């Protein structure tokens, strides 16, 4: 029986496939990319994005760096001009303007004048406030001096009143001592009586009550040291009565 050539060819191909599978086994994940390939693709994508973004960042940095310089240059340019903007012509609906290079601007003197006025006003207000403080201080000092003078006057009056009271007490004490001396003398001479002067009572009436004679006025005056027959209500008189 002759062999079929197609079968032999198929058998040979199958053997080759089996040998290849033995050398390099087929994995289920051969259809998916490996981890290293994924990482490599990510790095390449990141490099591309960075390459795209870096020029924009550089441009922004340059812009922000130059912007203050441009503003300062424009400000210096306009400030250093000696005159205001003046319209010279109008063409095609566009107005051409430039700074007047003639006489200096009056804006600066006006600003200086306002500043001087403000400073003068502040100075005047400060002087007024200072004058007010000095006035209040002087008034407070004056009030203090007045209060001290009032206290000194009150102390002086109190001192005088005290001296007067002490003098009065000394006088009363002296009279009492004198009355005691006179009483002792009267007791030595004879019996004596203490009489308190009543309202509207006179020395003559007292003498008539005790001695029934006007001569008693002299006796009572000598016993009590009375001059001009003057007595007062409440005065205690020593009346000597001879036995």
Look at residue 125 in the predicted model and tell me its pLDDT: 92
User: CA–CA separation, 143 vs 137, rounded Å?
Assistant: 10
CA 42 to chain CA centroid, nearest Å: 68
pTM over 0.75: no
Which secondary structure element, helix H or strand E, spans residue 159, and what is its range? helix 107-189
- Name the residue among 168, 200, 195 with its Cα closest to residue 183: 195
Chain centroid to CA 194? 77
pLDDT at 126 over 90: yes
Contact 204, 217 (CB under 8 A): yes
* CA end-to-end span of the chain: 212
What is the pLDDT confidence band of residue 204, given thresholds at 50, 70 and 90? very high
Q: What is the mean pLDDT of residues 154-175?
A: 90
Per-residue model confidence as pLDDT tens digits over 41-89: 777 776 665 555 566 777 788 877 788 888 788 887 776 654 444 444 4
Domain 190-241 has CATH 3.10.350.10: yes
Strands 94-99 and 85-91: antiparallel
For residue 120, pLDDT over 70 is answered with yes
Q: What does the alpha-carbon distance between residue 227 and residue 221 come to, in Å, rounded to a whole number? A: 7
Residue-level pLDDT at 38: 79
Domain boundaries, the chain: 190-241
Lowest-confidence pick of 29-38, 89-98, 195-204: 89-98
């Amino acid at each position: 029986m002759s062999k079929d050539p197609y079968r032999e060819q198929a058998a040979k191909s199958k053997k080759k496939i089996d040998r290849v599978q033995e050398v390099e086994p087929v994995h289920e994940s051969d259809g998916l990319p490996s981890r290293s390939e994924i990482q490599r693709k990510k790095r390449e994508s990141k490099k591309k994005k960075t390459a795209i973004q870096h020029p924009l960042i550089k441009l922004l940095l340059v812009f922000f760096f130059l912007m203050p310089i441009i503003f300062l240059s424009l400000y210096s340019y306009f400030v250093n001009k000696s005159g205001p903007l003046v319209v010279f012509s109008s063409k095609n609906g566009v107005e051409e303007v430039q700074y007047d290079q003639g006489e200096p601007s009056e804006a600066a003197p006006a600003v200086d004048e306002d500043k001087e006025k403000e400073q003068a006003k502040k100075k005047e207000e400060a002087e007024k406030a200072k004058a007010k403080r000095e006035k209040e201080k002087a008034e407070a000092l004056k009030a203090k001096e007045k209060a001290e003078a009032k206290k000194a006057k009150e102390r002086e009056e109190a001192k005088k009143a005290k001296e007067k009271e002490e003098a009065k007490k000394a006088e009363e004490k002296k009279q009492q001592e004198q009355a005691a001396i006179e009483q002792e003398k009267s007791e030595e001479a004879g019996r004596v009586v203490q009489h308190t002067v009543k309202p509207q009572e006179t020395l003559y009436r007292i003498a008539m009550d005790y001695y029934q004679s006007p001569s008693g006025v002299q006796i009572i005056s000598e016993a009590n040291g009375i001059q001009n027959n003057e007595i007062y209500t409440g005065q205690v008189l020593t009346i000597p009565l001879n036995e």
